[in-house]
Amino acid sequence: MPSCCDIAMTSILSLPDGDDEAELGILTFADLELKEHVPFPAKNHLKAELDAHARKKYVYAKKKAFALFVKAKEVAADACCPVSACQGALSWKCCQQSFKDLTSIHRHVATQHSGEMGQQTCMILKQMAGNGNITTPPLSGNEILRPSKALGQDQEIEAGQVLLYYCYCEVADPEGLCAWQKALCQHLRLTGKVSIAAFCPQASEGINGTVGGSKAATGLYMNAMLSHPLFKRTLRRDDFKTSKGGAHCFPDLRIGVFEEIVPMGINPNEVSYKESGIHLTPKEFHVEVEKYLSQGNNAQADTLLLDCRNFYESKIGHFQGCLAPDIRKFSYFPTYVDENLHLFRGKRVLMYCTGGIRCERGSAYLMSKGVCKGVYHLKGGIHKYLEEFPDGFYRGKLFVFDERYSISSNGDVISVNGYVSWRATLRKEPNGRKCRCLWQELLMAETARRSLPIFGSG
């Protein structure tokens, strides 16, 4: 079975007839310095296996194999600190070495990986010749990877949208998948953040993404993801959450490999998404919440409605009657559970979050404590619930981690103790002061919350 990197190359390099550079429309790598002395396997040996048309593509295929290999080794200069990643210049990692410039990584790949380059070049050439046994490409070279043709100017200036999705699955080649995502997003002119998690081969988590662009671009992105061999059996079109927005909702494109696709701070080997609670559809969740609220005295009920998000998220919107933990980030959730086991003991717990991803491992952690009667969570999160029940039991705005700050489906505005929306503050302040201003607003909200009981009637 080909690796993700192989799949990336076969999908990106599915070439039609015609002029090489003009027809490809993907990964031009103008700064690639591929010297003729790069020790690929003998040119004549490869050519002997190819027809006349494919022979003409040899030099181009060799450069592309080399370029994609280098691309797969690309990391942010400060990738060791994920919080501030993507702020600095690029660097490359290969064979447990770091390279700060293209010349050094090119030299390393040329001298240390010539065999792999030869194999990948041969694979590309055979695909081009139609003689190789290659997995069907996850992308259409004609439709998806030619942004100048697939995405006309009219489509790019139309009202766009933001996609939110995740897929827990085994990722054998995270760096290859990372390179494929970068190529795809860049050529569809998408912005946003995509996290690929691979703690170790035994605890690979999958992918978590939020991207924005035109509707045409995001539609092509969904098609590419759904047809990729890694996701086509586990990811469905309904798993993508959409909302109004576009590329302007994010400052840039950030794609990287991390230990967790959503940071809970616990080894995925210890708490796995495979041990999560029971999924409830938005309709099933709505019925459960309706039953819960009809019981009157929520404190005496055998059911508990739990918001898995941070306090500044639940501050501006939440389900009526929920328990909203006073936590600043999701990595504090396990500690909150440990310190409040009495709240969950003997209860049926209904959990929810923005898009569903935090509930996957959050519910697994809660279940591992063995105190609950049952743990259930909202599939697709608040996003999917609001699509079906815009005027349901969720009131207020939905916090989102991009330049929109929040989205809403009903007219409710939730405010407690004169809390001032941090969203407005951030928009007024220079970018350099965002973090400090946000922290000040969070402290204000936290102070207000400490004088209040947990959310009751909403």
pLDDT (tens digit per residue) in 165-182: 999 998 888 888 999 999
DSSP state for residue 299 in the 8-state scheme: G
Strand order in the sheet with 278-280: 278-280, 374-378, 348-352, 303-307
Going by DSSP bridges, is the β-strand pair 191-198/253-258 parallel, antiparallel, or unpaired? parallel
Sequence-separated (6 or more) residues with CB below 8 Å from residue 335: none
CATH architecture for residues 147-258? 2-Layer Sandwich (3.30)
- What amino acid occupies position 89? A
Q: What are phi and psi of 270, to 5 degrees?
A: -85, -40
Which pLDDT does position 76 carry in this prediction?
60
Distances in whole angstroms, Cα of residue 380 to Cα of each of 236, 316, 435:
12, 20, 29
Tell me the pairing of strands 348-352 and 374-378: parallel
User: Given a cut of 60, is residue 422 above it in pLDDT?
Assistant: no
Unique residue bearing structure tokens 């959450």:
241
Give the domain ranges of the chain.
4-129, 147-258, 273-450
* pLDDT, tens digit (0-9, with 9 covering 90-100), for 308-344: 999 999 999 999 999 999 999 999 999 999 999 999 9
Question: Mutual orientation of helices 102-112 and 58-72 as an angle, nearest 10°?
Answer: 110
Measured distance CA(168)–CA(140) in Å, rounded: 24
| Sheet strands side by side (includes 90-94) | 74-76, 90-94, 97-99
Backbone angles phi, psi at 226, to 5 degrees: -70, -25
Question: Taking residues 77-102, what's their average pLDDT?
Answer: 63
Backbone phi, then psi, for 214, in 5-degree steps? Answer: -70, 160
Average pLDDT, the chain: 74
Q: Options 3.20.20.140, 3.40.250.10, 3.30.470.20, 3.30.70.100; which CATH number does 273-450 get?
A: 3.40.250.10
pLDDT (mean) for 252-278: 91
pLDDT score for 93: 85
For residue 134, the number of C-alpha atoms closer than 13 Å in the C-beta half-sphere is 26
Helix (H, G, I), strand (E, B) or coil at 136: coil
Contact of 278 with 361, CB cutoff 8 Å: no
Give tens-digit pLDDT for 218-227: 999 999 999 9
Please report, as a single letter, which amino acid is at residue 294.
S
For residue 185, CA distances in Å to 68, 181, 182, 232, 321 come to: 15, 6, 5, 18, 40
Q: What is the DSSP string of 148-167?
A: HHHS-HHHHHS-EEEEEEEE
pLDDT for residue 291 is more than 90: yes
| HSE, side-chain direction, 13 A CA sphere, residue 261 | 30
178 is catalytic: no
Widest Cα–Cα separation across the chain: 81
Give the whole-number percent of the chain exceeding pLDDT 70.
Answer: 64
> Quick one: DSSP state of residue 396?
E
Residues paired with residue 258 on neighbouring β-strands, in sequence order: 197
Which own/partner contact pairs does 97-104 have at CB distance under 8 Å and 24+ positions apart? 99/73, 102/31, 102/32, 102/33, 102/70, 103/33
Q: With residue 349 as reference, give the H or E element that holds it.
A: strand 348-352
Rounded to an integer, the average pLDDT of 61-84 is 65
* CB atoms closer than 10 angstroms to residue 232: 13
**Catalytic, out of 167, 353, 359, 372:** 353
Strands (E) across 28-148 are located at 74-76, 90-94, 97-99
pTM: 0.64
